[in-house]
Structure 1
Amino acid sequence: MVSPAVAVEELRAWSPPDAGQAALQQALIAFCLARPEDACARECAAGHLTASALVVDAAGEHTLLTLHPRVGRWIQLGGHCEPGDASLRAAALREATEESGIAGLEIAEHPLHVDVHPVTCSLGVPTRHLDVRYLVRAPAGAVPAISDESVDLAWWPLDGLPPESDTVPAMVALARG
């Protein structure tokens, strides 16, 4: 399981793109420091860090989104940290690989974006996800396969994202740099 200390290191190594992201970065760091035992564990009812991936095709023209069964919207791939995850980056890559069915994904060294949002996750308890998001590139010709964690999975043009995609447009803008 990702230790909160490792999460703090990953967050501190990141240079946020703006003041809003810098404020969220500091909030996530403070949360980890306040909860050194369980900040990354889904059992932490106060909230917990999660790891996501904005998967972009090799040409940089499309992003792979999942129609999430619980959320009911098209969102980036990602989820909870698991016992084998050494870092948030590793958790994001594992989640992207599991949820996309694509081998050979390449993940950026540092986060792309962070977000905090209320959610009722798998334990059925209202909580918050403190989501750390990474840019991930798919190899040329990658064909996704729907997992049991998705209602649907589709490549969306970066200029034609679904309207209910929440913070995906902000991540796309950062990915385009």
Structure 2
Amino acid sequence: MSTASLHASAVELLHAWQPTGTAAESLRYTMLAFLDAAPRACLREHVPGHITASTFLLSDDGERVLLTLHPRIGRWVQLGGHCEESDSTVVDAALREAVEESGIPGVRIEPQLYAVHVHPITCSLGVPTRHLDLQFLAYAPAGAVPVRSDESDDLRWFPVDRMHTV
């Protein structure tokens, strides 16, 4: 697929998203301006910062969320990562990352944007950059058993109502 379709999908998602509050609205406009200025901003090669795609993978009943203990940052976070040129859309990237990192087939992703987040990080580029993270909700099939990949130090289900304490 083309980088243009990946970029266009990020712009479309941000335009369709209904943020709650002025801070989220401001962040949306900042991300749209960033994308407008950088046609390859969805790829990790864009050193000043790049769009990433992540997923809050919920159990089929929505009671638990699968988190990964990220080896680079040493914290429990949602599944996700960099968009690849082979991804048609940012939603495709988020789903690919969720399946790769969870080892769970049959994940069902909600195609609309759930939230956005920007954070400084030294990612696989090896230099400080920013991740402009587009975040999605997805559901695992009933009885799903996660399988840790080499991109994680650990992988666990946490009760959704404990999310603020993880």
Smaller-chain TM-score bracket = over 0.9
> Partner letter of residue 107 of structure 1?
I
The alignment of Structure 1 onto Structure 2 pairs a total of residues equal to 163
Superposed, 1:132-143 pairs within 5 Å as: 132-143=134-145
SS in 2 for 1:79: strand
Q: Are 2:146 and 1:151 aligned?
A: no
Superposed, 1:8-157 pairs within 5 Å as: 8-36=11-39, 38-157=40-159
SS in 1 for 2:132: strand
8 Å CA contact 1:58–1:138 kept in 2: the answer is yes
**Distance in 2 separating the partners of 1:13 and 1:161:** 26
Q: In structure 2, which of residues 2, 6, 11 is the aligned counterpart of residue 3 of structure 1?
A: 6
SS in 2 for 1:60: coil
Structure 2: segments with no counterpart, 5+ residues: none
8 Å CA contact 1:4–1:33 kept in 2: the answer is no
Listed one character per residue, the Cα deviations across residues 45-77 of structure 1 (whole Å, up to 9, x for unaligned) are 110000000011011110000000001000000
8 Å CA contact 1:4–1:40 kept in 2: the answer is yes
State the match for 1:171 in structure 2: none
8 Å CA contact 2:6–2:87 kept in 1: the answer is no
Structure 1 residue 3: Cα displacement: 3.2
> Partner letter of residue 99 of structure 2?
T
Structure 1 residue 11: Cα displacement: 1.2
**Distance in 2 separating the partners of 1:112 and 1:10:** 10
Q: TM-score, normalised by structure 2?
A: 0.93
> Partner letter of residue 161 of structure 1?
M
Q: TM-score, normalised by structure 1?
A: 0.88
Identity across matched positions, percent: 54
**Distance in 1 separating the partners of 2:30 and 2:159:** 32
CA RMSD of aligned residues (A): 1.3
